[in-house]
Amino acid sequence: GAPWCGHCKKLAPILDEAAATLQSEEDVVIAKIDATANDVPGEFDVQGYPTLYFVTPSGKKVSYEGGRTADEIVDYIKKNKETAGQAAAAATEKAAEPAATEPLKDEL
């Protein structure tokens, strides 16, 4: 995003709402970056503002071209997160044995 960009200003509270909806999802992070004031990593192609990317747990970057409402963003993340999560789960199952020896956290 960019501070002077009207579309970014309009999108900011929508992203905040989406983040609030997804705050219980530990593996979902919604991050904002001012592309005019920060070095944007080269793998993110920013041609205009706002530019939205969805990054899967495996590191695949997808340019988000979907709707700009909180509901549409949340739906997209949930739909795509599940498939990414299943792929990640399948990949980590083989390595799950050492994790089983870790002590369980007591939640009070």
pTM for this prediction: 0.66
Of residues 106 and 72, more confidence is placed in 72
pLDDT per residue over 45-56, tens digit each? 888 888 999 988
Q: In the chain, where are the structural domains located?
A: 6-81
Q: What is the DSSP letter of 95?
A: T
Q: Which two tokens stand for residue 59?
A: 């590191």
Per the listing, tokens 């705050």 go with 23
27 — pLDDT class (breaks 50, 70, 90): confident
Cβ neighbours around 107 below 10 Å, total: 4
Counting Cα atoms < 13 Å in the Cβ hemisphere of 82 gives 5
pLDDT per residue over 41-100, tens digit each? 888 888 888 899 998 877 888 899 899 999 999 999 988 886 655 555 554 444 444 444
Assign 62 to helix, strand or coil. Answer: strand
Class of the CATH-defined domain 6-81:
alpha beta
Residue 7 has pLDDT above 60, yes or no: yes
